[in-house]
């Protein structure tokens, strides 16, 4: 490999983060959310690092199929439900749980001959105003599903729009409880990442950690490369494209073999962004190039060509 940019996934960090989530909600089962290719960390890595979860929640059918074909036998939740009638055959084939958030999905399910009953997560719009039945229509949707032979079980699912706010969560929980009290013993799946951390009263039967599995406790992903050049820059000189950084003092800079072609965000406010060189925290200087970026080495006197 001629270039040095490498993306590393720490499976032990995955495991550690999941264990921390379990400590926050010890009585709840866990849907590890691995949508969008596990937030860019790859489904393959997530399957290895999060194998002690109760189940996986995905967005697309191909993610669910990948999990099944790579040995996952536990529950899988289609977190936004099915998009086409044709997907119901795969839901049955791969034994998936699906969200129902709209009446059109129920109408399709009514007419579909399933090979085995399907577990349903019925979404209540308790304040997010994105997907789901409002409180005036949820009970009707639940009654429609309850009488279908195509349905194995129904769980009430909802999503918090502002989990950092106790007032907002309390308002939504009031609506959820109002509905849940009308349906005896209906399982509940409410808490997203922030609610898991801040609102233990929302944990219920299942929780849905997403972003906290990847970087809230211990970062799972590391973008790593090496210094390919070191330059001594005199004071009162510009560095990099567009004269975006002006060096007021004599400085030593390092050129790293990594840029936006390798996934480093081009539009990030680069100057001042922290980066480690030989384990020492320093900063990026100037604009991100396609295949290079520039780092400040004044705090890294032992840096050399090949330093990581």
Q: Which residues are catalytic?
A: 35, 241
Residue numbers belonging to the annotated binding site for substrate: 130, 290
DSSP state of 85: T
Instruction: Report how far residue 245's alpha carbon sits from residue 233's, in angstroms, rounded to the nearest whole number.
Output: 12
Rounded CA separation 303/17 (Å): 32
Q: What angle do CA 37, 38, 41 make, to 5 degrees?
A: 90
Beta strands in the chain (DSSP E): 6-9, 29-33, 55-58, 76-78, 97-100, 118-123, 151-157, 188-189, 206-207, 221-224, 227-233, 237-239, 245-247, 251-256, 274-277, 280-285, 293-296
Binding residues: 130, 290
User: Cα separation of 228 and 289, whole Å?
Assistant: 14
d(CA 162, CA 194) in angstroms, rounded, equals: 9
Distances (CA, A) of 243 to 106, 240, 275, 288, 293: 58, 6, 21, 12, 14
For residue 202, give both structure tokens.
Answer: 């929302």
């Amino acid at each position: 490999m001629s270039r040095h940019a490498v993306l590393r996934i720490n499976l032990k960090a995955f495991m550690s983060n999941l264990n921390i989530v379990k400590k926050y909600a010890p009585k709840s089962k866990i849907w590890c959310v691995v949508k969008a290719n596990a937030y860019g960390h790859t489904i393959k890595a997530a399957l290895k690092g999060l194998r002690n979860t109760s189940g996986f929640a995905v967005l697309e059918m191909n993610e669910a199929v990948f999990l099944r074909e790579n040995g996952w036998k536990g529950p899988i939740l289609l977190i936004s439900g099915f998009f086409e009638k044709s997907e119901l055959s795969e839901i049955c084939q791969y034994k998936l749980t699906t969200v129902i958030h709209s009446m059109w999905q129920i109408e399709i399910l009514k007419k579909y001959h399933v090979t085995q009953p399907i577990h349903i997560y019925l979404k209540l719009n308790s304040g997010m105003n994105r997907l789901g039945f409002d409180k005036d229509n949820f009970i009707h949707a639940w009654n429609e599903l309850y009488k279908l032979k195509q349905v194995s079980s129904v769980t009430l699912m909802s999503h918090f729009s502002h989990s950092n706010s106790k007032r907002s969560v309390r308002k939504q929980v009031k609506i959820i409880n109002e509905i849940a009290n009308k349906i005896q013993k209906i399982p509940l799946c409410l808490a997203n990442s922030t609610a898991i951390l801040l609102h233990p009263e929302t944990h219920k039967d299942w929780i849905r950690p997403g972003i906290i599995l990847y970087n809230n406790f211990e970062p799972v992903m590391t973008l790593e490369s090496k210094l390919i050049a070191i330059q001594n820059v005199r004071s009162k000189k510009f560095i990099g494209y567009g004269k975006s950084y002006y060096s007021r003092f004599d400085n030593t800079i390092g050129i790293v073999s990594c840029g936006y072609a390798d996934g480093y965000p081009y539009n990030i406010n680069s100057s001042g962004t922290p980066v480690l060189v030989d384990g020492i925290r320093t900063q990026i200087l100037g604009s991100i190039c396609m295949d290079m970026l520039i780092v400040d080495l004044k705090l890294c006197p032992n840096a050399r060509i090949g330093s990581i």
